[in-house]
Amino acid sequence: MSMKTISKSLLCFFFGFALIVGFAISETRASEITVYTSYEEDEAAAFLAAMQKDLPDIKVNLLRLSTGDLHARMLAESANPRHDVIWGWAVTNMVDPRILSMLESYRPKGIEKVPARFRDPQNRWFAKTGYMAAFCVNNEILEKKNLPMPASWEDLLKPEFKGEVVMPNPASSGTGYLQIASILQLKGEEDGWQYLKELDKNIAQYIKSGSRPCNVASAGEFAVGASFALRAIKNIDEGYPITMVIPAEGAGNELEATALMKTSKNKAAAKRFIDWTLSENAVNEYYKWKEIVTVSGGNMPVSFIEAGLPEDIGSVMVDMDFSWSAANRDRILKEWQTQLER
C-alpha cells in the first residue's frame, strides 16, 4: 500500500471517528428532560443550580405546581404523560394507585443510603426530603404568664393554655393536615377525635398557613404555634425568643418523593438526574432548605442541632401511614370542618 493510500485511509478513519465523537457530544449536549415538582420555587432553583454543576450536559425543563394542582395535572395527562421525572412531591399523593401505575421501578445509585421506611418496597419511589410538625413556644410569654413549657400534644390540653394555642387549618394547609392525620393515627380515630375536641377548647385561631402559627407565636401574639420544624429553626436563627419543641408523641410529617415515569422518552438522562438527587452535593443542598433529609451523608447545619433537631431525624418522626392519610383525607377534612372549624 502506498503512503498516499495510507494517508487517505487514515484521513477517512479520523474523519469518521470525528463524526462519531461529534455525534456523541451532540447527543450528550442534547440530553433534555421534563421534570414536574412541588418544591417551592426558591428550593427548586437552588437544587437545580447545584445539579447543573455536576451534570452540565442535562437540560431540565421544570414545571412547578402546588401538590394538589400537580396531582390533578398528572391524572389529566395519565393517558399521555408529558414528563420524565416526578421530583419532590408529597408521598401522600404519590401512593395514589392511579399515580403508582404510571411509575417505573428503578433502583438509583446510592439508594442504600435511604432507609427502607422512606422508599417503596417495589422501588417505584423514594423520599429524600420532607417536613415535620413542631411547636414554636414563646419563652417571654411563658415567663410573663407563668406557663409551663409544653413537651407534648397532651400538654396543650392543660387549662392554662386556653386561648394561647394557634395551629394551621388542615383544610387549607398541608402542615395542618399532617398534624391532624398523625394524631388520629397515633391515638386511633375515636380517641383522636376526642383529643381534637378537647384541644379545640384551648385553640385561639386556626390559621390557613402552615408557617404563620409559628410567626405569630414568635411575635408574641400567642404562647404556642403548632407549625413545622424548619420555620421554628429559621425564626430562632433570626433572633425570636422561641423554643422549638418536637412533640414527645412524635412529629407528624410529610415526605417528598421522586420517581421515574414509565413513559419517559429520555430514560438515560432521567436516571442520571435521579441518581444525582442522592449524591453528597445534593444532600448538602437539601440541608439548606429542609429539616427532614433521609439520605445518610451530608452535614446537618449546626443551627438545626442547636435548635433541638436530632441528627437521627427518623427517631422523632411518626411512622406515618401515607396511604391511609391519602385514602381518608376527604372524610377527615369534612368531619373536621363539621365539628371544629370556625
Cell of 11: 484521513
How far CA 202 is from CA of 6, 173, 174, in Å, comes to 92, 20, 22
Q: pLDDT value at position 264?
A: 97
CA–CA distance, 245 with 224 (Å, rounded to integer): 10
Pairing of strands 103-104, 253-261: antiparallel
Burial class (CB in 10 A: 0-12, 13-18, 19+), 101: exposed
- With bands split at pLDDT 50, 70 and 90, how would you rate the model's confidence at 342? confident
Q: What is the pLDDT of residue 217?
A: 98
Q: What separation in angstroms does the CA of 50 have from each of 42, 46, 108?
A: 13, 6, 19
Which of the residue ranges 24-38, 117-131, 149-163 would you say has the lowest mean pLDDT? 24-38
Say yes or no to pLDDT of 30 above 90: no
Q: What is the CA radius of gyration of the chain?
A: 24
> What type of residue sits at position 130?
G
Quote the pTM value.
0.82
- What residues contact 256, with CB distance under 8 A and at least 6 apart? 38, 39, 88, 89, 90, 91, 127, 128, 129, 130
Question: What span, in angstroms and rounded, lies between the C-alpha atoms of 321 and 332?
Answer: 14
Domains along the sequence of the chain with CATH: 25-130+255-301 (3.40.190.10), 131-253+316-339 (3.40.190.10)
Q: What is the mean pLDDT of residues 310-317?
A: 91
Q: Average pLDDT, stretch 301-330?
A: 92
d(CA 273, CA 48): 10
Q: Which residue has the higher pLDDT, 248 or 22?
A: 248
CA atoms within 13 A on the CB side of 294: 25
96 within 8 A of 71, measured Cβ to Cβ: yes
